[in-house]
Structure 1
Amino acid sequence: MEVREENTQNGKFPFKLGFGLLFGVVGWLVPYLGINTTLLPAKIQQISPDNKVQIVALLATIAMIVATIANIIEGALSDRTVSRWGKRNPWIFVGMITTVICFFFLTKVTTIVGLIVNWSIYQVALNMMVAPLVAFIADKAPKKYRGSISAFYGVGNNMGQPVGTLIASNFITNISSGIYIFIVFEVVFTLLSLFLIGDGSNVGEKSKKLHGAELFEAFSFPIHGDVRDFYFAVFGKLLFVSAQSIITGYQLYIFTDYIKLSSAGAAHNLSIMSIILLITGVLFGIIGGPLADKFHSLKLLVALATVAMGVGIIVPGLTPSTWTMLVYATLSGAAMGMYNSVDQALNVSVLPNPDNSAKDLGIVNLANSLGQVLGPIVASMVVGFAGYRFIFPAAGLMCFIGAVLIILIRKVK
């Protein structure tokens, strides 16, 4: 695959690509995390308060299975799409429309079965957006600016959780209104993203015909080429995101059931946490990419950020108090900012086959999606066995193991 390095002839930085990626990831991530971490648990609490922890874990398990299959298939099809609107845009647009429909029906669902069906369809639609969007980095980002372009994507990632939670925390008792806000948010930012990136027609581009082993490889996890570093990056990311999601997936219940706050008190502290995460995440996200480009160091920054996340996560396990969650928010916000700013540049650098960039980047990014559902599953088991306090050291250990995997990557400094 030939990378289209826009503006490299005159040395200009591709700002439109950068901001397009930032708005694109904000467009799907803010609604997803706002609903997944706050409004969906609140709705489950309304429908079945006695089984809420187990239902969150069940939804996460089903979502993980559906997302795994959808991400690989949709990413591979995106790599081979030829149309007047480009290879990525049709998938992102259809994904946006379908997720909006799912959000609308989420406001109408009154049963756990209905939630499961709706959330499963949503996972299929969501991955139509995620896998093609991140592939724009491999498609269009000049190599010398890859760290900085990744930082735009990372800043969008850093804004996802705090902005989503900040919005959602105001609608815990009015869930449907919050979902409608997220629908508008997603449509506006996704369309703005597609306009800025401006990926035009690729009619006439030859799409590689697949048969035999090539067909299998196009729709499967990579097994040929330099896959060692690729899988270290995948599992390092999976552990990082899972650890983070152990806390974010149950943050409402941590405040109400572990720290023993009222719903109003929980909403207030979630808002404060969101502001802290937003400020620290964006600040460290802005400086991470340029530092990586300047010092040519991706692996070390990702590993250090993973360790910092682990340290921050351990703190709330010391005592059930609001101040420990605010310390966690400060450290984890800085860690996520640095991590997300250079993570995608690291991922692009370890791709085993550029012809399968969307599919393979989708698999790496699948670690992000799977981590967001695996975390609550782990948390549910730990809470059921030992109580809330022990989810914090468990998540911290996952981060430290993830940092080791990143350090073991060979082909990237």
Structure 2
Amino acid sequence: MTALEPVARVRGPWIGRFAAAWLGVWLAQTTVIQLLLPAQVEAAGGRSGLLDTIARFGWVSAVAGAAALVAFPLVGALSDATASRFGRRRPWIALGTALFAAGLVLLGMQTTIGGIAAAWSIALVGFAAVSSALTALIADQVPVDQRGAVSGFVSAPQAVGTILGLVLVEAFALAAPGSYALVAAVLVLLVVPLVASLPDPQPLEASGPVWIAQIAGSLWIDPRTHPDFAWTLLGRLLVNLGNALGTSLLLYFLSAGLRDPDAESDLIPLVLVYLVLLVVATLAAGRASDATGRRRVFVAAAAVLQGIAGVLLAVAPAYGTALVAAGFLGAGYGVFLSVDQALATQVLPDPADRGKDLGIMNVALAVPQAFGPIVGAALMLVFGGFSALFIGAAVLSALGALAVARVRGVA
């Protein structure tokens, strides 16, 4: 099949429904990672030490991350090859949302570590499916000079979704099954308007049946042939892993590192500061990047801001410091998300394989969040304490910026 770069700018209603769908997806994913899953793992593990609890949480996240690692590029490739009367991406958005919601409901019923890992794996495969198809829409339907701004509406809903999910869960104060069902219902409610109205044209040329074996064989992209793609992928992986180290264990940092008796309640102001700065930085950086045509300098700035946050938390671990660091971390990650998503769409090897290639890129967006806890547990075990965790976050962010600096085909 062939594919052309889009030239018609997308309008407000399209962007609104697109942003709402991402709001539902991020609300479901981040609420689970930040609050519901850590608490559930801690309860299932019984009375055990901090490192044991973090390691158990890391194991659950890593198992689910391995499932997502396969699902991201596979679903992206399948959506590239889909030629149905419902469109290319829309069926996968719908199927992914349904699987994600079902996995969350199932997750809420689990009381053992094995059951939690299995159910979270199902949910993350659904997350991978819906997010792969949604991301491909940017390359399919948004012109290059609008991608920074539109990418901001992928990132900003992550901020709003996280705080909204935490507030909803705290406000309703339901048991685990009810909290997970609530999150799943909001996910479906926010994705449905996009699925119902999305213009999703067929590929320009049908390619005939495509088999799983063919897709699997196409997943390898030679970094020597496509170095810009490889460097962008590596930079995304490192920066996202650095961010995951700084955010995924926050609840444990408050409860065990700072011995905060109200850790779950005090988590909300931290997340709010982080997310407000993330939203502002995302929207501002996306528009500035479109206006200047530059991407890499913004990624470097993002890494510096995230690095400052990590050093602050390592040097002066206190709740007040954490609030300041949350601002730096949110601003840095917001700049990175908006600009890096636009950069990713400009280094794809083949426009006809956008879904598959962006699926590979998305591995480096979501999988670090899954493996972050187990990497963090290893750092704490080897070097001792939360300081090692936050220094690791700063170092990884800097290495990610160095990787993106090697990109040559995009300014």
Same fold, judged at TM 0.5 (above): yes
How far did residue 209 of structure 1 move?
Answer: 5.7
2:263 and 2:172 map into 1 onto residues whose CA distance is 12
1:252 and 1:260 map into 2 onto residues whose CA distance is 11
How far did residue 223 of structure 1 move?
Answer: 2.2
Equivalent residue, structure 2, for 1:235 = 234
Query: Does residue 392 in structure 1 map to residue 393 in structure 2?
Result: no
Query: Does residue 339 in structure 1 map to residue 375 in structure 2?
Result: no
Query: Does residue 295 in structure 1 map to residue 292 in structure 2?
Result: yes
Which whole-Å deviations, capped at 9, do the CAs of 1:238-278 have from their partners, x for residues lacking one?
Answer: 1111111113221110000001101xx21232111122122
Query: Does residue 274 in structure 1 map to residue 275 in structure 2?
Result: no
Instruction: Give aligned pairs, total.
Output: 405
Q: Which amino acid aligns with 2:66?
A: I
Equivalent residue, structure 2, for 1:405 = 403
1:128–1:19 CA distance, 2 compared to 1 (3 A): same
1:224–1:399 CA distance, 2 compared to 1 (3 A): closer
1:42-191 equivalence runs, <5 A: 42-49=39-46, 50=48, 51-168=52-169, 174-191=175-192
SS in 2 for 1:351: coil
2:253 and 2:173 map into 1 onto residues whose CA distance is 15
1:260 and 1:281 map into 2 onto residues whose CA distance is 27
Give identity over the alignment, percent.
26
How far did residue 306 of structure 1 move?
Answer: 1.9
Equivalent residue, structure 2, for 1:254 = 253
Between 1:354-363 and 1:316-325, the stretch displaced more is: 316-325
How far did residue 410 of structure 1 move?
Answer: 0.5
Which whole-Å deviations, capped at 9, do the CAs of 1:355-401 have from their partners, x for residues lacking one?
Answer: 11111101111101111012111111122231222111111101111
Equivalent residue, structure 2, for 1:364 = 361
Q: Which amino acid aligns with 1:39?
A: L
1:77–1:232 CA distance, 2 compared to 1 (3 A): same
Q: 2:3·2:204 contact (CA, 8 Å) conserved in 1?
A: no
How far did residue 3 of structure 1 move?
Answer: 3.7
How far did residue 171 of structure 1 move?
Answer: 6.7
Q: Which amino acid aligns with 2:388?
A: F
Q: 1:85·1:199 contact (CA, 8 Å) conserved in 2?
A: no
Between 1:14-23 and 1:292-301, the stretch displaced more is: 14-23
Between 1:242-251 and 1:207-216, the stretch displaced more is: 207-216
2:386 and 2:62 map into 1 onto residues whose CA distance is 20
Which whole-Å deviations, capped at 9, do the CAs of 1:9-61 have from their partners, x for residues lacking one?
Answer: xxx65323322332222221111110122101101111114142121111122
Q: 1:301·1:342 contact (CA, 8 Å) conserved in 2?
A: yes
2:212 and 2:10 map into 1 onto residues whose CA distance is 41
How far did residue 304 of structure 1 move?
Answer: 1.1
1:233–1:164 CA distance, 2 compared to 1 (3 A): farther
Q: Which amino acid aligns with 1:237?
A: R
Q: Which amino acid aligns with 1:260?
A: R
Equivalent residue, structure 2, for 1:207 = 207
Q: 2:73·2:358 contact (CA, 8 Å) conserved in 1?
A: no
Q: Which amino acid aligns with 1:236?
A: G
Equivalent residue, structure 1, for 2:28 = 31
Which whole-Å deviations, capped at 9, do the CAs of 1:60-93 have from their partners, x for residues lacking one?
Answer: 2212211111112111111000111101111111
Q: Which amino acid aligns with 2:29?
A: Y
Q: Which runs of 5+ in 2 are unaligned?
A: none
1:65 and 1:142 map into 2 onto residues whose CA distance is 33
1:68–1:161 CA distance, 2 compared to 1 (3 A): same
Equivalent residue, structure 1, for 2:318 = 321
1:336 and 1:279 map into 2 onto residues whose CA distance is 12
How far did residue 172 of structure 1 move?
Answer: 7.4
1:162 and 1:237 map into 2 onto residues whose CA distance is 24
1:234–1:162 CA distance, 2 compared to 1 (3 A): farther
Q: 1:71·1:363 contact (CA, 8 Å) conserved in 2?
A: yes
Q: 1:169·1:270 contact (CA, 8 Å) conserved in 2?
A: no
